Amino acid sequence: MMYRNRFTDEGRERIMLQAKNLSKSFHDGKYAKTILKDIHLHIPKGSWVTIMGPSGAGKTTLLNCLAGIIRPETGTVTINDVELLNLNEKQLCDFRRKHIGFIFQDFKLLPHYSVIDNVMLPLIYDEDNKKLKARAERLLSEVGIDEHLFRRLPAGLSGGEKQRVAIARSLIAGPDLLLCDEPTGNLDIESRNQMTDLLRKVKQRGQTIIVVTHDQEVANLGDVTYQLREGTLMEVG
């Protein structure tokens, strides 16, 4: 298997996300463990990028750095010409809510909120409740959630249904970028296939997707796959 660094300046006008020289270490007393080493990455608008690698390689840390949740020791992250590390915490939170959607392996649904309230939550204080509810209902229908489940709590849903609700929530703001951290890890094969079909539809609408996964079949659906090993990100050739 060959690896090569994909970072170039070609196609800069179409770049959705660009990371340069990203490095991150975690410190435990007097010891430091380097997780990311001088990561370079550029992702064109409307593409599906997959990141693979062994457990503990730092894939989730990389996603968090790309989203501005974790600050790297060195490097920059630019999304739609906005340099995230130049934003303060309030600006970062606002940017993420409006421009980045998140899908997690464990769904991250709030257990005491109904399905539709979970979907509305990212924008609940920003938009007219009636219009937001109508959009949430439309998204839930698009991802295959029946109307009779809208008022149900997450505990009453299957794993596949929870993940579809999580997808609807991630899309409520019409984000430019969707970050998916092992989105099929807790799903059976049928639910996994439904999940990947939904991601393909998202990509067809022009949104950009980054998927962290251990599943080679899921990785094969993307435009390009990277391996993260020993802190280095390289394209699989």
What does pTM read for this prediction? Answer: 0.88
pLDDT of the residue at 237 = 66
Residue type, 188: D
For the segment 145-165, the average pLDDT, to the nearest whole number, is 93
- pLDDT band for position 109 (50/70/90)? very high
Supply 77's token pair.
Answer: 């992250």
What does the pLDDT look like over 58-102, one tens digit per residue? 999 999 999 999 999 999 999 999 999 999 999 999 999 889 999
4, pLDDT greater than 70: no
What does the pLDDT look like over 172-224, one tens digit per residue? 999 999 999 999 888 889 988 988 999 999 999 899 999 999 999 999 999 99
Q: How many CB atoms lie within 10 A of CB 175?
A: 20
Residues near 164 by beta carbon (within 8 Å), at least 6 away in sequence:
140, 143, 144, 145, 194, 195, 198
CA–CA distance, 103 with 212 (Å, rounded to integer)? 10
Instruction: Provide Rg for the chain, Cα atoms.
Output: 18
Q: How many CB atoms lie within 10 A of CB 206?
A: 9
Mention the CATH class of domain 46-69+86-236: alpha beta
Q: Is 23 buried (19+), middle (13-18) or exposed (0-12) by CB count in 10 A?
A: middle
Average pLDDT, the chain: 89
